[in-house]
Structure 1
């Protein structure tokens, strides 16, 4: 085998090796997901394609206002477990009260310019325990979220990641808040 051929093979192996390392790193740090439904309207819409940061809550804690993806025990039509995309409303140590469609955190009415309408159902008065968050969709009348017993408080261990970027539709590419 000529030295030129050996060098060419070596370059190919090196390129493939670097590509594999990059792919593994990307898979560990980010994950794509697709919005299924209207529960986060108008912030996110059905079929929006998102990139989530899988490391966000391994390196830090969720904060109020974060849009997160978390795993649930709910089943999809195909039998797989369902991930939900919601907004963090309260974190551990917060006192949450929902009364007369208004949300109070630690006794203060919160400003929610991102919600679809100004009506939030539920009559809740609770403290958020350690390791849990309370999450709701921005389209409150069309959202299965922490107000419902099927979802309840979300364990921080069930957080898949924080929504970073919307990639599709193309006219809405950018960060999500």
Structure 2
């Protein structure tokens, strides 16, 4: 069980629903009968304040819970590990039904809809700390042999095509190299940073069944599946597919207007 905002919504929905339901079934008939005996019209009977609040908030909380659990959930990007695709301060929508419907809190799948595709940008729960959400690009599917040598990425023995585009002129980095990577059917940008002498991020592993391998688009500044702290991500930890930026707000440059509404590719 994961104690996050979804847990708070579920608890609030159950609490307000129980208060309203118990009052409707048990206490309201008693109030109506007592008032009728005194000649008071039913419309003039006041509900207890707790019941009034529960009746008012229950449908609102329930709607929010259903939307966040089964349709779309907002997230804020807290780092630059997905630059240049996503910037620190981007607020995004995540499609919660891309890979199937899951019960909130329990996170168990109840309906299978689609499968993750190589190149998808996905929010997932960190395997070692499920209360923490990460967002990275899906690189390795179950059974894939992933090799990273320097700036080269190999999947099942084939080098992933990359075209260098020169220096990056965007936000935050003045010495980064921009490139276009062709990952499956997805064409997207990646960043490469100058490395310190002797530093290596080489990698060579096979993705286990039922797990996925993720990398950040900011290849030299991303804590992702290449690192022990993240590792392979089990299917049950997938939250959803990142689909669109709805706001960017990162002081002191906030907001960046031209990012609002951009699709995430």
Is TM > 0.5 for Structure 1 vs Structure 2?
Answer: yes
Q: Distance in 1 between matches of 2:192 and 2:152?
A: 11
CA deviation string 1:52-88 (max 9, x = no partner): 011112222211110011111566xxxx932111000
- Shift, 1:160, TM fit: 0.9
Which residue of 212, 223, 230 corresponds with 1:133?
A: 212
Say which of 45, 51, 60 aligns to 2:87. Answer: 45
CA deviation after TM superposition for structure 1 residue 115, in Å? 0.6
Equivalent residues in 2 for 1:26-105, closer than 5 Å = 26-28=67-69, 29-58=71-100, 59-72=113-126, 81-105=131-155
Offset at residue 17 of structure 1 (A): 9.4
Which residue is 1:108 aligned to?
158
Structure 2 distance, partners of 1:20, 1:122, is 45
In 2, the alpha carbon distance for the partners of 1:119 and 1:69 equals 27
Residue aligning to 1:148: 227
Distance change (3 Å), C-alpha of 1:118 and 1:176: same
In structure 1, the residue corresponding to 2:189 is in which secondary structure?
A: coil
The count of corresponding residues between Structure 1 and Structure 2 is 162
CA positional deviation for 1:144 = 0.6
User: Which residue number corresponds to residue 122 of structure 1?
Assistant: 201
- Separation in structure 1 between the aligned mates of residue 189 and residue 143 of structure 2, nearest angstrom: 24
Q: Which residue matches 1:8? A: none
- What's the Cα RMSD here? 2.8
Deviation at 1:105, TM superposition (A): 0.6
1:4-25 superposed Cα distances (whole Å, 9 cap, x missing partner): xxxxxxxxxxxx9987775444
In 1, distance between residues paired with 2:152 and 2:72? Answer: 35
Q: Deviations over 1:130-155 (max 9, x none)?
A: 11111011111211100000000111
Q: Contact 2:151/2:192 (CA < 8 Å) preserved in 1?
A: no
| Larger of the two Rg values belongs to structure | 2
Report the Cα offset of residue 106 of structure 1. Answer: 1.2
Q: Which runs of 5+ in 2 are unaligned?
A: 1-40, 42-56, 101-112, 162-180, 182-187, 249-256
1:174 matches 2:239: no
